[in-house]
């Protein structure tokens, strides 16, 4: 599998894949989709959102928190999700940065990623794009982005 090289060796970085949405409401739907597929929040300390009106932190409470970012009541937030299961394959932990018009997904490269996990991630990305998103993979440069786009098309 050609894409495996973007996953198999842990170099200490956290590569990012971004799904951008023209319709911001789809960001909430995409984030909810992760939880509908067994995502569990495993963020150290549980994770927090910064609420603009009160100028205070609020503990992350679940998939509905993405709507607060979309409507600009809260600043973008990042959580680490474990247990996401696609096509009977449980993905390694994924970091998810919820932005007003995108989900930025980061991952730790390494031995937890095999062909099954990469294929499951592609299926997940295809579903997220099916909600009106576009995959962007600038982390890996033009060649890598092209390879991800092609793999996604075939997934």
Write down the domain spans for the chain.
2-154
Share of the chain above pLDDT 70, in %: 99
Whole-structure pTM over 0.85, yes or no? Answer: yes
Using CA atoms, how far residue 132 sits from 19, 31, 112, in Å, is 9, 13, 29
pLDDT tens digits for range 96-137: 999 999 999 999 999 999 999 999 999 999 999 999 999 999
Written as one string, the DSSP assignment of 13-38 is ---EEEEEESSTHHHHHHHHHHHHTT
Residues ≥6 apart with Cβ < 8 Å to 41: 47, 60, 62, 79, 80, 81
pLDDT tens digits for range 32-60: 999 999 999 999 999 999 999 999 999 99
């Amino acid at each position: 599998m050609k894409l495996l090289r973007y996953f198999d060796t842990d170099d200490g970085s956290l590569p990012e894949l971004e799904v951008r949405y023209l319709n911001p409401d789809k960001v909430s739907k995409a984030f909810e989709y992760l939880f509908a597929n067994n995502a569990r929040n495993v963020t150290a300390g549980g994770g927090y959102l910064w609420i603009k009106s009160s100028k205070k932190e609020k503990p992350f409470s679940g998939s509905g928190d993405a709507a607060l970012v979309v409507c600009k009541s809260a600043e973008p937030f990042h959580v680490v999700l474990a247990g996401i299961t696609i096509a009977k394959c449980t993905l390694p932990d994924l970091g998810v940065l919820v932005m007003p018009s995108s989900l930025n997904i980061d991952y730790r490269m390494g031995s937890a990623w095999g062909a099954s996990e990469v294929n499951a991630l592609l299926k997940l990305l295809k579903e997220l794009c099916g909600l009106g998103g576009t995959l962007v993979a600038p982390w890996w440069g033009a060649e890598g982005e092209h390879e991800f786009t092609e793999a996604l098309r075939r997934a």
